[in-house]
Structure formats: C-alpha cells, structure tokens
C-alpha cells in the first residue's frame, strides 16, 4: 500500500463523520417511523426526526462554510492519473449532488411539515418559521419529494462508501486515509 495522501483538516474529518453518522441515523429512523401506526411513540419519533433534520441542515451549512474556506487536499497525482475520465466526473458529481441533497432533504421535510400544519419546535422550545402555508393538498404534493430526495441521498452515500472501499481494498492507494479519524 502506498503512503497516505495529504489529509483533510481535523475539523473537516470531524464534520464528515458526524454528518455521516447523523445521516445514517435519521435515514434509519425515518424508515422505521413510516411503518409505525399512529401513536404517541410515533409522534415523539417524528419530532426527533424533525430536530435531527434541522441539526443536519445546520451541520451541512457549517461543513459547506468550512469547505469553502479550507480547500480540500487535491487527489494525489497517481490516483488522478489512474482514474478514467468518467470516474473523475462521477467523483465530482457525487460530491456536488450529496452537498445539494444535504440541504434539499431537510428543507423539503421542513416544507412538508409546514404545509401539513405541523410546525417545527426545535428541541421543544424554539419554534421555527413555517416555510409554506398550511395546505393539505400542497403537503401531499411535497411529501413524496422528501422521501425521494432522502433515498437519492442514501444511494449517493452508498456509492461514496463503495468508492472509498474500492480505493482502500482494491486500488490500495491510501486515499481512504485522508478522511480516516486519527493519524
């Protein structure tokens, strides 16, 4: 295995893994809660899901701000030379789409909640403004977009993980070490 490439900053690494864990958790909770019958437990889980979504939205803004002010390390020349053009496009396209969906998924969820007439009260104490007026038909139109965007993000995350594992186990190019916690 080659020596690892230049690493991301510790803050970038922390934000990456924190957002990764939050996304996995909220996606699994979202899948679980949709199958539950209406109950106090489901309402509690829905509120937790909303709070987590707003937290993910905030983390995404922080991560984007960090990324815009701290350039990531470039791909090592040997890795870049070994990548066919379609892989370079997939690499950049996947990252750009993930960043777009980091914002779109929670914003669409917030819009759905607003249109459904259920405001978000962050952690039960901070009411957030509605993004849309309460409108049952509008809520029904927005709802599937939240799920579709969440599944699209999950698919991109899986693609991202598969590519990282390919670089680590097949290419053995040290690329995964750039984002691994620790030294």
Task: Count the domains in the chain.
Answer: 1
Task: Assess if residue 166 is contained within a domain.
Answer: yes
Phi and psi (nearest 5°) for 104? Answer: -65, -45
Domain range for 151: 10-178
CB neighbour list of residue 74: distance below 8 Å, 6 or more residues apart: 6, 80
- pTM equals 0.93
Residue 4 located in a structural domain: no
Which CATH number does the domain housing residue 130 bear?
1.20.950.20
Blockwise average pLDDT, block size 10, the chain, 183 residues = 74 97 97 95 96 98 97 91 94 97 98 97 96 98 98 98 95 91 81
């Amino acid at each position: 295995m080659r020596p690892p490439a230049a690493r991301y900053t510790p803050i970038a690494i922390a934000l990456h893994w924190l957002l990764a864990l939050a996304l996995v958790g909220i996606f699994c909770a979202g899948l679980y809660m949709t199958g539950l019958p209406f109950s106090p437990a489901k309402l509690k889980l829905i509120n937790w899901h909303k709070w987590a979504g707003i937290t993910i939205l905030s983390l995404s803004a922080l991560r984007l701000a960090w990324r815009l002010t701290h350039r990531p390390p470039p791909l090592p020349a040997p890795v870049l030379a070994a990548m066919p053009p379609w892989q370079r496009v997939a690499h950049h396209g996947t990252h750009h789409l993930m960043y777009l969906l980091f914002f779109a998924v929670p914003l669409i969820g917030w819009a759905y909640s607003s249109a459904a007439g259920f405001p978000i009260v962050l952690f039960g104490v901070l009411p957030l403004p509605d993004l849309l007026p309460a409108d049952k038909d509008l809520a029904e139109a927005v709802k599937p977009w939240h799920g579709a965007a969440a599944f699209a993000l999950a698919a991109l995350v899986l693609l991202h993980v598969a590519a990282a594992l390919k670089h680590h186990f097949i290419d053995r190019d040290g690329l995964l070490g750039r984002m691994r916690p620790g030294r």
